[in-house]
Amino acid sequence: MANKRIMKEYAEVTNNPPAGCKISLENEGDMNLWNVVMDAPSDSIYAGGHFKIVIKLPKEYPFKPPVLNFKTKLYHPNVTNDENGSMCLGMLRPDEWKPPNKIADVLKLVRTVLAAPQPDDAVEQGIADQYKNDRKAFEKTAKDWVSKYAK
Amino acid sequence: MTYVRADEELAELQRLSQEYQPDVTGPLVGERQPSTAIASEYALADPVYRAKTAALPQRYSHYRTCRGDGRCGWRAVAFGYFEALVHIGDAAKFLDEETRLRSLNNILNAAGQDPYVYEDFTDETFELMRKISASLQTGNADATLLACFNDPVIEQSVIQHMRMLTAAWMRTHADVYEAFVLPQSVDEFCASSIDPYPAEIEHIGISALTDVLLKPAGISLEISYLDRSIGDEVNVHRIDADAPEGFGSGTIRLLYRPGHYDILYKPEDIQPPMLPPQPAPIPTYFQFAPQPMDHVYDIGASDFITMIPGMSFANTHAGWMSSSPFGSSGFAPTTLPCKPQPPAPAPTPMYAPPPALPPPPPPPAQISHASDFATPSLPPTAMPNHMPHMGNDPFRSSIWELERGFPAATTQCLPFQTSIFRNSHFNTAHFLNPDFQPEEWTPDQDYIVPHNNHRSGRHKSISSGSA
């Protein structure tokens, strides 16, 4: 059943991809691992960057939330600054996940968070503090990282 | 110093409570077991719990556990809903319900849900309905239901369907619920308390789910609260279906312990529905009407009548029956009691004293007799006392009532014993007669007949027969 849902969603995003996203399968034939290349919103400090995101749909999907990992390094308070690049907030939290949510909705959330970081919900407390107290320095590093990793 | 330590302790406690996982072992829905198990579970608890759990088995004979993973309330109601349908034992009811739930997809659409998202969930519900309805034939519907509810894919989908129905119903009937979810709006409430996958059902959710799922199906919900409030029995909260008591499609009974739901059963919930011949209700009259009886029979005693075994609203004489205690004039003479006598009134010379009247076996229809109302403790054998009471009886049958001492010119003394009469309820030997008196076999008279020229007694006739 889960698979049926994933097929339907995949068909939908292929025919009608969410703004700024190119979606493919990481491995041919594995519906549970999606590959997204997201163009950062043009009004965000990440503008011009292309970020590779891997979305892992658990076996229990849609009863368990998908897992998001940024494969492109990103200086952002809501994305872990490690090799995983995990993002987990809002609707993606297991205790807030709603099975009717679709991946397209998740991608919309990701773009919103790129444009407007949520420092109070941060996974990188250092980056969040900098974002709140020294916005200039934060933006400089973020832009540096975009040109370094995300072009 | 102490402040810091308290802070650390709090942080540690906070961490522990966040990491705490409730005990989620055990089946999603367990086997039905005797409810005495609950009492033994609380044997060492405080006295309030001990008293309440000890009293529980008197009311509820069995219970069934639900896994305490935070979704037990949804699971218990969903399981109870299917079980109630199984208990009705009618494949047509499953079809009715599938049709009704399909039409409820409209409120899912109205609440902004995407058909391709909810169809996966609703399809599982309908498939489960068909599977169970098919297994009604083979008689293992209960086992099928239990097995399916322990399949996480089916169970999660069905619960999700219920969840979406509840939220959609609340959103499309916001005016009904908005006062109960303040300070949130209905939409915010659903988003935080109904929609998320792990959200446990709470009171508002239960009442909305009852409104959309149970009530229209004729199923009632009864929740027993086992908590530490004063009292020696659980507090019961009941949400009735749109059908009068006894005419619905059953009741789901839940046991609520703070944070957890299990399912309870009364003995009558367990026995197969068809075995004891219940007064057959006629569903067409009342199925969904809010005050159904009033249109059909204007009988004060309707509840009482339905309690009489063998009686039902199918009986076209119900109106006549109820007239006896409450004074309709038409048949007053027939309500007059007559002295119980052997049905064949031929005077018989008997040398033995007349056999003491054996207490009649409990009549199949215990008729609403005036004396039964006046002195309800009296068994039906009290008929002979009836005559003297007539004058000051609190229930005066009719203004046409016969004088006291009027000869007992009653039906059974009447000469016309046509077969039509004998088989009608005007015959006191008919169980629908208010003065029902079963015909008794009096051996004396049978034996007397051939010999009554010479002998008058049973013993002699026997001895002569054996001689």
Secondary structure, 3-state, B408-437: CCCHHHCCCCCHHHHCCCCCCCCCCCCCCC
Counting one residue from chain A and one from chain B, the pairs whose CB atoms sit within 8 A come to 41
Interface touch B117/A102, C-beta < 8 Å: yes
Report the C-alpha gap between B232 and A99 in whole angstroms.
42
Report the C-alpha gap between B106 and B452 in whole angstroms.
84
Among A73, A67, A82, A33, which Cα is nearest to A49's? A73
Q: Can you give the residue range of the structural domain that contains A46?
A: 2-149
Total structural domains within chain A:
1
Where exactly are the structural domains of chain B?
15-270, 316-467
- Measured from the Cβ of residue B29, the count of other Cβ atoms closer than 10 Å reads 25
Q: How far is CA B22 from the centre of its chain?
A: 36
Which residues face A25 on adjacent strands?
Answer: A34
Determine whether A88 is an active site residue.
yes
Interface touch B114/A100, C-beta < 8 Å: yes
Is the pLDDT at B409 greater than 70, yes or no?
Answer: no
Residue tagged active-site, from A37, A88, A89, A109: A88
The DSSP line for A2-71 is HHHHHHHHHHHHHHSPPTTEEEEESSTT-TTEEEEEEEPPTTSTTTT-EEEEEEE--TTTTSS--EEEES
Under 8 Å between Cβ of B209 and B201 = yes
Amino acid, single-letter form, for residue B346: A
Give the ipTM of the model, two decimals please: 0.84
Residues of B in contact with A94 (CB under 8 A): 197-198
pLDDT digits (tens, 9 = 90+) for B353-372: 444 444 544 444 444 444 44
Residues present in chain A in total: 151
Q: Residue A92, CB half-sphere, CA atoms under 13 Å: how many?
A: 24
Report pLDDT for B394. 56
CATH code, domain carrying A19: 3.10.110.10
Min distance A41 CA to chain B CA atoms (Å) = 27
Q: Which residues 111-150 of B have a C-beta within 8 angstroms of A?
A: 113-114, 116-118, 120-121, 124
Q: How far is CA B241 from the centre of its chain?
A: 12
Min distance A133 CA to chain B CA atoms (Å) = 26
pLDDT digits (tens, 9 = 90+) for B307-351: 566 555 444 444 444 444 444 444 444 444 444 444 444 444 444
Residues of B in contact with A100 (CB under 8 A): 113-114, 117-118, 164, 195
pLDDT digits (tens, 9 = 90+) for A23-67: 988 888 888 899 999 988 888 888 888 899 999 999 888 899 999
- Measured from the Cβ of residue B295, the count of other Cβ atoms closer than 10 Å reads 10
Considering only the beta carbons, identify the residue of B120, B152, B195 that sits closest to A98.
Answer: B195
Report pLDDT for B8. 75
Interface touch B120/A5, C-beta < 8 Å: yes
Of B95-104, B122-131, B285-294, B425-434, give the lowest mean pLDDT range. B285-294
% of chain B surpassing 70 pLDDT: 59
Greater confidence (B19 vs B40) lies with B40
Tokens of B211: 């409104």
Nearest residue in B to A102, CA atom = B117
- The CATH number for B15-270, chosen from 3.30.1450.10, 1.20.1300.20, 1.10.10.1100, 2.40.110.10, is 1.20.1300.20
Any chain A CB within 8 A of the CB of B224?
no
Amino acid, single-letter form, for residue B24: V
